[in-house]
Amino acid sequence: MLGVVGLLTWRRRRRPVAAALASDGPGTIYPRPAAPRPPARRRKPPVWVVVPVAAIVLAGTLGAAAWSATRRVTAIDTDSQPTSGAWTGTGVSGALGMPLREDAFEFTVYRMSCEPGRGARQCQATVGVRNLTREHQSWHGKLQRAYLADGNWVTTDEPATRRANQGRDVFADPLAAGSRVVLPLVFTITGREAPQRLELRSGVFSAGVRVDVP
């Protein structure tokens, strides 16, 4: 390797001398300085490459965020243990008249009554709700569920609940810190069987409470 490097170096130094000796003009045996080269321009990628790549990166970011959010929501399985998955706090179970505390609220179910019949009918639960936090807390009718004997469930019938509360939407305004209300919640079911359990929660990730309503 050293011999090859030396031979190449010797040949490069010898070329200017031989060229000068072979020329007819005065010439010089010293190599002329190389002419300065213009600075190389950086090639920019074409637009037809940049736009699709940016779109793919953006779609991947949004897809990853949506996938993460979907996983967290789907982790809320009503048949799983309340303290697993994405639940916040510890879920508790109890009977009628028993105050049950979850993440932000204390729920007390006093009674449950259903209209007679076999078709679509309404069941009304009288529920006490206390905000145990130091902040206003919102809650939603879609998070309050009545479970039937076959495992199916229905959420609060909000128009019927508004009528039962003399036209007031009990889910429209947040519950003030430390305040307590007692109000009816209406569930519309189909069939002769009455709900066997209520599941109440303050937020989508709250473990909530479960009340048996025989």
Listed residue (169, 184, 192, 183) closest to 121, CA to CA: 192
pLDDT value for 127: 98
Range of lowest pLDDT (5-14, 23-32, 157-166, 197-206): 23-32
Whether 74 has a pLDDT exceeding 90, the answer reads no
User: Model-level pTM?
Assistant: 0.60
The CATH code of the domain at 92-212 is 2.60.40.1240
Strand blocks (E) in the chain: 92-94, 100-101, 105-114, 120-131, 145-147, 153-155, 180-190, 197-200, 209-212
CB 160 within 8 A of CB 210: no
